[in-house]
Amino acid sequence: MIDFLSGVVAMGYAVAALFFLRFWRSTHDRLFGLFAASFGILALHRVALLVIDSTSEHQPMVYTARLVAYLLIVFAILDKNRVR
């Protein structure tokens, strides 16, 4: 059941990435591009957690992808709100 729910979360991240990618293609706004990349990384991270065994989930390399994705979101928001 946990694997199924993890797959649902991965699909949700992938749908969000495609949603932001569609807006990035029409506006070429960097915010949408960074959000699409971030949610794509989160989707790949969730799929990677399904592939590896659950004992290695607490390794630092597993959390690095999540950290990069969240830092991209923070950078995108700060970049959009900075005074030009």
What does each of the 84 residues of the chain score in pLDDT, given as a tens digit?
878 998 999 999 999 999 999 999 999 999 999 999 999 999 999 998 888 866 666 777 778 999 999 999 999 999 999 977
pLDDT reported for residue 61: 76
Alpha helices in the chain (DSSP H): 2-27, 30-51, 60-81
CA atoms within 13 A on the CB side of 48: 16
pTM (predicted TM-score)? 0.88
pLDDT reported for residue 38: 98
Residue 72 has which token pair?
């991209």
